[in-house]
Amino acid sequence: MSDTATTPTNATFDQFGLHADILKAIAEQGYTTPTPIQAEAIPVVLGGRDVMGAAQTGTGKTAGFSLPIIQRLLPLASTSASPARHPVRALILTPTRELADQVAANVQAYAKHTSLRSAVVFGGVDMNPQSAELRRGVEILIATPGRLLDHVQQKTANLGQVQILVLDEADRMLDMGFLPDLQRILNLLPAERQTLLFSATFSPEIKKLAATYLRNPQTIEVARSNSTATNVTQIVYEVAEGDKTGAVVKLIRDRGLKQVIVFCNSKIGASRLARQLERDGVVATAIHGDRTQSERMQALDAFKRGEIEALVATDVAARGLDIAELPAVINFDLPFNAEDYVHRIGRTGRAGASGDALSLFSPNERKQLADIEKLIKRPLDVQRLTVDTPVRHHHDERGARRERDDRGGSRRRTTGAHERPHGTHHRQQPVDDFFLKPYEPSPSAVSAAAKRDEAPSAPQKPASKQPLAALLGGFGMPRKTTTSN
């Protein structure tokens, strides 16, 4: 049976009894007052009780569990260089590599003034640097399930002394099929431990998981389950399926969006849309499961630096991306899983900021729209969006390298006397009639062919008199012929 936390939300970080080194790191991060999930979760986690935490994405769940974990492990911190003095005492499991990397960055920032060590391991990159770091010893390990099991098999990770387990975005881990891996990992952990389960949504499967592995958890819900943030404006635009690309370009230009995440349901669709946006003059790149981890991290870093306007992503990026003051997200496709809608639009309006969640809706997506409205328990504002025939504009400094013809080949923009005036529409280049005429040999080619015909033919090389079998080694010594009388 679980209880519900009732900690007042007007608390301050000083009231939690956190160590001075932790408070110093919090101040350096610019935090002044805790968010509701932090205010309610931190005291409960400090008390050593299991927790089921439900909150909207972007409300600070990571600090809600990582700050009290650091506080609880501080008495066990050691400055010794011996790996034996730095066993894994806290394990944080996340469903995606991006979320693992983000959680690790937050933990490292919060523990920077302490002697606690932290590390992150996830797939898609070389295991050797991760193994070397684990051998040196870490107290807080952030990991994705599959790569963690790889390290367990390689005996570079020992989970026998884990005291605190965190399942972050546990519903997503179940959606991605991690339940067998989770069960294997849980069987490797000590039975006496504190387990924290945090997620933006609580499905029946999550409640069943909590009932199996959590002991008398305290439920913390700072908002209605599966609800969306009130500071995010949600609009659904009804457009024809074939006009969706033009609709994305129109929304980006009309709203002056310099940073936007565009969500697609498939990897192929994300790559295709990114290429189409590039041709329409929008600086875009795609991020999905088929790209290598280094490519995904480079794309995310470029997007955070403002070098990319539109990050086209599948739901692999719906969890864990923390872009400061992201103004909007666009759903190019309505998600098949209604809960993914909550996580997608949670990328904007984070930490109390305002944001826009814009979704494109075609007539064949009525079921997805109905499922979303049923989940969030309110109708969405559906508007008509008229999309004119898109005119492909190209930035002057990028036009030459971004222009592509319909066959996918490169086409260089002409310069000099044939340069298009600035601001004119792109038109198809005229085709030279020369290339439409049938082939006619030039006079020089005809005369050269006539001279070749008049020239005496070269003497033919005499054919070999030896039989073919002899040339192939089929005959031995030549036979002696006998004459008949």
| Burial (CB count <10 Å: 0-12, 13-18, 19+), residue 131 | middle
Which residue's structure tokens are 């470029």?
A: 302
Give the pLDDT band (50/70/90) at residue 408. Answer: very low
Contact assessment for residue 180 and residue 157, using Cβ atoms and an 8 Å cutoff = no
pLDDT on residue 419: 40
* Residue 237, φ and ψ in degrees, nearest 5: -105, 125
Q: What is the pLDDT of residues 196-218, one digit of tens each?
A: 998 766 778 888 888 888 999 99
Q: What are 202's two structure tokens?
A: 């609580």
Question: Average of pLDDT values for 218-230?
Answer: 71
Q: What pLDDT is stored for residue 475 in this prediction?
A: 53
- Which tens digits make up the pLDDT trace of 139-153? 999 999 999 999 999
Q: Which alpha helices (H) appear in 353-396, and where do they start and end?
A: 366-376
Task: Determine how many CB atoms are found less than 10 A away from the CB of residue 485.
Answer: 2
- State how far the Cα of 58 lies from the Cα of 321, in Å rounded to an integer: 9
Better pLDDT: 318 or 426: 318
Cross-strand partners of 140: 90, 118
157 closest CA partner among 166, 169, 144, 168: 144
One-letter amino acid for residue 419 of the chain: E
Buried b (16+ CB within 10 A) or exposed e, 155-164: ebbebeebbb
C-alpha 329/C-alpha 380 separation (Å) is 16
Average the pLDDT over each of 37-41, 116-120, 448-452 and give the range with the smallest value: 448-452
Residue 240 amino acid letter = A
**Predicted confidence band of residue 393 (pLDDT cuts 50, 70, 90):** very low
Phi then psi for residue 195, to 5 deg, are: -120, 130
pLDDT(275) > 80: yes
What are φ and ψ of residue 332, in 5° steps?
A: -65, -40
Least confident of 248-262, 276-290, 372-386, 457-471: 457-471
241 pLDDT higher than 50: yes
Given this model, what pLDDT does residue 460 score?
A: 55
- Please write the tens of the pLDDT for every residue from 290-344: 888 788 888 888 998 889 999 999 886 555 566 767 889 999 999 988 888 888 8
Res. 28: pLDDT tops 80: yes
Tokens in use for 231?
A: 């500071």
3-state percent helix, strand, coil for the chain, nearest multiple of 5 = 40, 15, 45
**Residue 296, amino acid:** R
**In angstroms, what CA-CA distances link 70 with 103, 190, 218, 444?**
13, 19, 20, 86
Question: 17 or 169, which is more confident?
Answer: 17
- Better-scored residue on pLDDT, 6 or 304: 304
Average pLDDT over residues 92-114: 92
pLDDT of residue 433: 54
Summarised one tens digit per residue, pLDDT across range 34-88 is 988 899 999 999 999 999 988 666 678 889 999 999 999 999 999 999 999 999 9
Mean pLDDT score of the chain: 80
Query: Cα 320–342–202 angle (5° rounding)?
Result: 90
> Structural domains in the chain?
3-221 (3.40.50.300), 232-402 (3.40.50.300)
For residue 369, count CB atoms less than 10 angstroms from its CB and return exposed for 0-12, middle for 13-18, buried for 19 or more: buried
Q: What is the pLDDT of residue 386?
A: 85
Q: Which residue shows structure tokens 């995010």?
A: 232
The pLDDT score that the predictor gives to residue 122 is 92
Question: Within 10 Å of residue 299's Cβ, how many Cβ atoms?
Answer: 21
